[in-house]
Amino acid sequence: MSTFQKIIDRANDLARKLYECDGYVAPDGWRFDKSTHPRELRMWRMAVIAFDHCESIDIDDVLSMLEEDDG
């Protein structure tokens, strides 16, 4: 598994935990970054903000790099 994928997986795990704080449950492996549901997308955006704030990682850039690697 690539480093990019590991970062995206960690961001999705954080989004899942935020979602649980809101009283909802998502299955392991759920891709919040691919969701179209407004609440799930909000959790994803909060995870993106947290990664940028705490780890100085731009998740949108990581997603772009991952797509380039997969392409």
pTM of the full structure: 0.89
| Residue-wise pLDDT tens digits, 3-50 | 999 999 999 999 999 999 999 999 989 999 999 999 999 999 999 999
Q: Tokens in use for 31?
A: 């891709």
- Kindly state the helix (H) or strand (E) to which residue 53 belongs, with its residue range: helix 38-55
Counted domains in the chain: 1
Give how far Cα 50 sits from Cα of 18, 24, 43, 45, 61, Å: 11, 20, 10, 9, 15
Domain of 18, in residue numbers? 3-70
Give how far Cα 1 sits from Cα of 12, 25, 69, Å: 15, 26, 11
